[in-house]
Amino acid sequence: MRVVHVSDCYPPRTGGIESQVGDLAARQVAAGDEVHVFTATPGEDGSHGGQVELRDGVRVHRMGTRLPFDMPVNPVSGPKLLRSGFGDVAPDVVHVHAGMVSPFAFDGARLAIASGLPTVITWHCMLDGMLPALRLGARTTSWNRVPAALTAVSAAAAKRVADVFDAPVEVLRNGLDMAQWRPAGGSDRSGEHGPLRLVATMRMAPRKRAVPLVQIVARAARTLPPDRLRLTLIGSGPSLGRVRSTVAELGLDRSAELTGRLDRAAVHMRYADADVFLAPAELEAFGIAALEARASGLVVVGRKGTGLAEFVQDGVDGLLVDGDRGMTEAIVTLARDGELLARLKAHNRAVTPTFDWVDVIESAREQYGRAREIAAHAG
């Protein structure tokens, strides 16, 4: 099968969509497909304007333009390059990956559908705060009846998309190499007789709520005896300076470590020496970092009503809470209740989540078949 993925963002940029699209494309190549990626993200060498590079067996078409900060948009020549690319590659299916703001991806979806190509659109975001405007725009332009297979990465995200379109929205979940993230050695102690070791991996940006997370941990620490909590924050981004200053202001210098960005192997090593993964984001469409932690055997504490519910059952894989106060209380509970912590950790180390790439690729093929049926009916 000849597949074209369309995504504003792609490696070398880092983030959830970038890693998922890159991994999915590489896995499809390994499964025997011919895979192309059309992206507005420049290459590491600055390649753009339609230049093609081979990355992990994937033909990556760099359709961006030179802009400050390598912004992944190309409003001038992007549509022309997309149209030409579809004509040259002649894909069997086009898989569009949408975030909150994805002008390049939506140009790709519009042009693919206009060309009669079977099209899958996957939303990797929560649409909260934009639903009324999106609903009005979809109905004004008749996109509410778009002839494409509509999907989202979780049931929570799919519910928002379904509020915009007059068409079924199915779940196409993210994938993970479970063998790569299986629980490592580490300590099996419960955390009852030593510090509870907390960890979070995220892009340090307001949407991920790194600063509120530090405040949550500080409130929990004030409730507990001294030195009962240790916090490791992994990642970088525009909020990093504010996170550092908040750590200092709240007196967490001795108990909090900011590592910066780490590669996957280094993150996995850190998880081997941790107990609990914290996921404070309110609009988490899926939570790939939380899934990596869950696959590594950590207890996950996150927000109800988010994509974490795809792999975290409250009281079984971790604790799902209503807000920041609930997260503070969950941390305190796990620090005080060694039996609960040990039970959750034992379950997560013994039970592997069902998100392996073999299953995800099969699910993607099912959506590609659905897209072909929709395109044939529309034609």
Q: Per residue in 220-247, pLDDT tens?
A: 999 999 999 999 999 999 999 999 999 9
Half-sphere exposure of 340 (CA within 13 A, CB side): 16
28/365 Cα distance (integer angstroms): 10
Q: Are 207 and 284 in contact (CB under 8 A)?
A: no
| DSSP states of 266-322 | HHHHHHTT-SEEEE--SS-SS-HHHHHHHHTT-EEEEETTSGGGGT--BTTTEEEES
**According to DSSP H, which parts of the chain are helical?**
16-30, 78-89, 103-114, 131-140, 155-162, 210-223, 240-249, 264-271, 288-295, 324-336, 338-350, 357-378
Instruction: Using DSSP bridges, classify how beta strands 58-62 and 51-55 pair: parallel, antiparallel or unpaired.
Output: antiparallel
Residue 151 has pLDDT above 60, yes or no: yes
Crossing angle for the helix pair 288-295 and 16-30, to the nearest 10 degrees = 60
Out of 58-62, 71-75, 98-102, 103-107, which region has the weakest mean confidence (pLDDT)?
Answer: 71-75
pLDDT tens-place string over residues 289-344: 999 999 999 999 999 999 999 999 999 999 999 999 999 999 999 999 999 999 99
Residues with Cβ within 8 Å of residue 191, at least 6 apart in sequence: 197, 275, 276, 334, 335, 338, 341
Task: Share the mean pLDDT of the chain.
Answer: 91
Query: What domains are there in the chain, each with its CATH number?
Result: 2-175+356-378 (3.40.50.2000), 196-350 (3.40.50.2000)
Higher pLDDT, 190 or 16: 16
Between the two ends of the chain, the Cα-to-Cα distance in Å is 21
Out of 51-55, 145-149, 183-187, 209-213, which region has the weakest mean confidence (pLDDT)?
Answer: 183-187
72-78 own/partner pairs: CB under 8 Å, 24+ apart: 72/8, 72/9, 72/10, 72/13, 72/39, 72/40, 72/41, 72/42, 72/104, 73/8, 73/40, 73/103, 73/104, 74/40, 74/48, 74/104, 75/103, 77/49, 78/40, 78/103, 78/104, 78/107
- At 34 the pLDDT is 98
pTM score, two decimals?
0.90
Using pLDDT thresholds of 50, 70 and 90, give the confidence band for residue 137.
confident
Residue type, 196: L
Q: Which of 170, 140, 178, 192 is nearest to 292 (CA)?
A: 178
CA 283 to chain centre: 11
Mean pLDDT of 252-267: 94
Mean pLDDT of 78-86: 93
Out of 4-13, 37-46, 87-96, 129-138, which region has the weakest mean confidence (pLDDT)?
Answer: 129-138
Residue type, 194: G
68/35 Cα distance (integer angstroms): 29
- Round the CA-based radius of gyration of the chain to a whole number and report it: 22
Residue type, 340: L
Cis peptide before 12 (omega within 30 of 0): yes
Q: Is 239 helix (H, G, I), strand (E, B) or coil?
A: coil
**Tokens read off for 204:** 């340090």
139/159 Cα distance (integer angstroms): 18
Task: Kindly compute the dihedral angle of the four CA atoms of residues 213, 219, 225, 231, in this order, to the nearest 10 degrees.
Answer: 10
**CA angle 73-100-313, nearest 5°?**
140
Q: Is 249 helix (H, G, I), strand (E, B) or coil?
A: helix
- At 192 the pLDDT is 55
